[in-house]
A and B are shown apart, each in its own frame.
Chain A
Amino acid sequence: MNTGNQTADVATETPLHLERTTLEGKNKILGVWLFIGAETVLFACLFGTYLTLRNQTMGGPTGQELFSLPLIALATFILLTSSLTSVLGVVSMHQNDLRGLQLWFGITLLLGASFLGLEIYEFIHYTSLGHRFTQSAFASSFYTLTGTHGAHVLFGLCWILGLLIQSRKRGITKETAPRFYVASLYWHFIDVIWVFIFTVVYLMGAAG
């Protein structure tokens, strides 16, 4: 309980899991796991809504006509790779390697941003084909599901960017380590959601 007696010299003998050395750190990690639990339910509801309404295209383009799998596969590849780089960032953190941490989380940031760019391009492309948000229940539920995921990616990018700025001043400490760790947890969660979107929306949609 007492967090005041953390006297171990962090620079010379870093514990293996720096993020769990304080009660605050442990709380943060459990808290984010619970938050991810709530987010899972949130996405489950959006998936349920989409699955109910996906055939209600009301004369607009269907998923089969819209979805181009090569582009989506590229986006999937980029996002899954960003999950890997965030793991490498946490590994660097455990080795007390600040440069490595900044490098790998920086790459995560770039990959996330390019995923978001692809998604924005995709949306613009769809609207030009007449697949608009207000067109049909299918369109509304498609944009809400993928858009909510995209908003989560954007939020994650801002989060990691903020942490990278902090790391320049503070390095790897028992205060910053849990923050990077939970940001990476959140990032994995976003990737897992995308795997489901890829399967349920795009693969099932393209299959008709």
Chain B
Amino acid sequence: MATFLIITTLVLLLAAIFTGGYNKKFLERVQKSWIWGWITTVDHKRIGILYIVASGFFFILGGVESILIRLQLIWPGNEFITGDAYNQLLTMHGTTMIFFVAMPLLIGLMNYIVPLQIGARDVAFPFANALSFWLFLSGAILMNLSFLFGGAPDAGWTSYTPLALNEYSPGPGVDYYVLGLQIAGIGTILGGVNFITTIVNMRAPGMTFLRLPLFTWTTFVTSAIILFALPPLAVNLLLLQFDRLFGAQFFSTAGGGDSVVWQHLFWIFGHPEVYLVILPAFGMISEVVSTFSRKRLFGYTSMVFATVVIGFLSFMVWVHHMFTVGLGSMANTIFAIATMLIAIPTGVKVFNWLFTMWGGRLRFTTAMLFAVGFIPTFVIGGVTGVMVATVPADYQFHDTYFLVAHFHYTLVGGTVLAALAALYYWWPKIFGKKLDEKLGKWHFWTFVPSFHITFFPQHFLGLYGMPRRVFTFDSTPILNNLNLISTIGVIGMTVGTVAFLYNVVITTIRGKSVSGDPWDGFTLEWTVSSPPPAYNFAQLPLVRGREAFLHEKLLGNKKMKAAEPLGAIHMPSSSYLPLIMAIGLFMSGYGFVLRGFELAALGLIILFIGMYMRSFDYDPGYHISTEEIKQIEKGLKA
């Protein structure tokens, strides 16, 4: 509590210095500043950008962690980072990359693009949307504070018990993991509710379900996965928190607990989670491949069906992470077969992308390069996935570098390459400027080959028996050479990433503004200006076919038909409450980590006050008048 008071005073002091102290004009000055505009925003486009920027920041953090890991493994017996420090690095690398990079990047793009693709002015719950973001950010910051205060989590991203119990993981590390993920997870669940409601209730007239762009479809299924997969994680974290903080006996054998409960609940969440980060990637690839082949997506309905089937099967396969636990050959067989079934809808998708390109007029922009690079890379990850789903072979692969290679091929070769393709594709829509194509090609040709140099040898490291999560290895020629090659590959990935960051800076400074439709796109987001005005659509569009914009283009129309007369547009008011509520939960989480239960209670009280204030607030929002809209539209080039 004392620490908290000191920190609060310090923050207030700094705030006073930077804002020029409190006087009559103070509030006015604060409300006019651009920072206030961003932290109180409820606009889905701004929140999307906040997500993307935050995930970029954590990508750099997680990237540095991975570089340090590879440097330690550059040769046998290295003493650069060993023991507990290495465990902290690998735990934080995994957790950061999945929860604070992949998910927010995808959710950020969903936030920005989905309302535009379905012809809506915002998401269903703009307030909750802002809350989702701030909860994610406070969870992520809370977990990363562990490096400074008390040591990072060190029980792996899966945090298996009994390793994660007090007995074997003393210190606050795992508590940071538990509370940080809990807070971020609550935000994600809210986001899932928000996207489903938006897609069900707020589609523009004529936008039927079988006219939804594939990215919106994958967002829809992903949100359903979020909705049903995140609660098991929440429960699991709660149980671990009770075990660690309040002496409950869920996982300790001495008190009658069962460690396998953790594993089941973790993977009931954990397997849907990996589909949660790959399905939106499939959607992005579908958009990019179709646009740059100048062809409608091949087999649209089968793509939708495959997406739904993958979403369903993702909940049926969690035991394939637990083949070596000893659940019996019947359980293992059933889950092995279910796992292999997923290869079918995934194969449908791969062939549909190939047939979309077949006979198309291909344009190899950077976005298309990444999309084309994605396909074989992801297929390798998929094939090794079927290999590890084979139970007898899995006894050999389990917990080796073969696994590490497999999931990096799906997560980097799948999610990251797709997200990069999507960033190059949607960057002009989001920021109004095209990323530099030449630097983009440098990015592609350094990043993707180096990725293979880094991770392809790791398959063989695993087959030669090198276990994952161990900071050293015996000196044998094969292990030495393969590890050295793997570390050399990291250099190229780093160069590629730096080229990308440089590209972002250069584009922001010098890039030329583009029109609303720089790629000759097919879907509704390309019908509005880049970046779109706050209200997105001056008049909601009337959708008359799948690939709505292409449909109009083929009829010779330059614009969408309007579904409503031009009129005043209702907008939600911005609010500082989401930030306050997130700060409340952050304080509460930090209180639990420090075992300062007064602080934890205070944080929860702040959260509930925020909820009550929100409930009593009947703010009607505001209207943008017809004249203002006409003025704004005149200033934009569509």
Residues of A within 8 A of B (CB): 1-4, 23, 26-27, 30-31, 34-35, 37-39, 41-42, 45-46, 48-49, 52-53, 56-58, 133-141, 144, 158-159, 162-163, 165-166, 170, 175, 179
Q: Which of B159-167, B230-238, B516-524 contacts A (4 or more CB under 8 A)?
A: B230-238
- Whether B615 pairs with A42 at a CB distance below 8 angstroms is no
- Whether A38 pairs with B256 at a CB distance below 8 angstroms is no
> Distance (Å) between the CB of A12 and the closest chain B CB?
22
- Whether B231 pairs with A39 at a CB distance below 8 angstroms is yes
> Distance (Å) between the CB of B128 and the closest chain A CB?
8
Q: Which of B190-198, B332-340, B395-403, B473-481 contacts A (4 or more CB under 8 A)?
A: B190-198
A52-B261 CB under 8 A given contacts A140-B242, A162-B616: yes
Q: Give the interface centre of B197, B246, B261 by most chain A CB atoms within 10 Å.
A: B197
Q: Which residues of B contact A175 (CB under 8 A)?
A: 618
Complex formed: what's the CA distance from A41 to B192 in Å? 14
CB-contact partner of A45 in B125, B236, B615, B616, under 8 A = B236
Q: Which residues of B contact A57 (CB under 8 A)?
A: 256
- Whether A41 pairs with B231 at a CB distance below 8 angstroms is yes
Asked if B249 is at the interface of the complex by the 8 Å CB criterion, the answer is yes
- Whether A144 pairs with B261 at a CB distance below 8 angstroms is no
A134-B247 CB under 8 A given contacts A53-B257, A162-B612, A162-B616: yes
Q: Which residues of A contact B228 (CB under 8 A)?
A: 37-38, 41
Asked if B202 is at the interface of the complex by the 8 Å CB criterion, the answer is yes
A162-B615 CB under 8 A given contacts A2-B564, A41-B228: yes
Q: Give the interface centre of A3, A34, A39, A166 by most chain B CB atoms within 10 Å.
A: A34
Chain B residues 240-258 with CB under 8 Å of chain A are: 242-243, 246-250, 255-258
Complex formed: what's the CA distance from A136 to B254 in Å? 9
- Whether A30 pairs with B197 at a CB distance below 8 angstroms is yes
Q: Which residues of A contact B616 (CB under 8 A)?
A: 162, 165-166
Complex formed: what's the CA distance from A165 to B618 in Å? 13
Asked if B201 is at the interface of the complex by the 8 Å CB criterion, the answer is yes
- Whether A140 pairs with B249 at a CB distance below 8 angstroms is yes
A27-B201 CB under 8 A given contacts A34-B193, A52-B261, A53-B257: yes
Complex formed: what's the CA distance from A190 to B124 in Å? 25
A38-B227 CB under 8 A given contacts A1-B564, A46-B235, A56-B257: yes
Asked if B484 is at the interface of the complex by the 8 Å CB criterion, the answer is no
CB-contact partner of A137 in B236, B247, B257, under 8 A = B257
Residue of A nearest to B563 (CB): A1
Complex formed: what's the CA distance from A42 to B197 in Å? 20
A23-B618 CB under 8 A given contacts A37-B227, A138-B256: no
| Other contacts beyond A30-B197, A166-B615: 14, CB < 8 A | A27-B124, A30-B196, A31-B193, A34-B196, A38-B228, A45-B235, A46-B235, A53-B256, A56-B257, A136-B256, A137-B255, A139-B249, A144-B248, A170-B618
Q: Which residues of B contact A37 (CB under 8 A)?
A: 227-228
Q: Mark B564-586, 1 if CB is under 8 A from A, else 0.
A: 10011010000000000000000
> Distance (Å) between the CB of A82 and the closest chain B CB?
21
CB-contact partner of A144 in B121, B192, B200, B242, under 8 A = B242
Asked if B540 is at the interface of the complex by the 8 Å CB criterion, the answer is yes
> Distance (Å) between the CB of B115 and the closest chain A CB?
12
- Whether B612 pairs with A137 at a CB distance below 8 angstroms is no
- Whether A27 pairs with B125 at a CB distance below 8 angstroms is yes
Q: Which residues of B contact A137 (CB under 8 A)?
A: 249-250, 255-258
Sample (12) of A-B pairs whose CB atoms are under 8 Å apart: A2-B567, A2-B570, A4-B568, A30-B196, A34-B196, A45-B236, A45-B268, A49-B261, A53-B257, A58-B256, A136-B255, A141-B250
> Distance (Å) between the CB of B472 and the closest chain A CB?
37
- Whether A134 pairs with B249 at a CB distance below 8 angstroms is yes
Complex formed: what's the CA distance from A35 to B257 in Å? 30
Asked if B239 is at the interface of the complex by the 8 Å CB criterion, the answer is yes
Q: Which residues of A contact B200 (CB under 8 A)?
A: 30
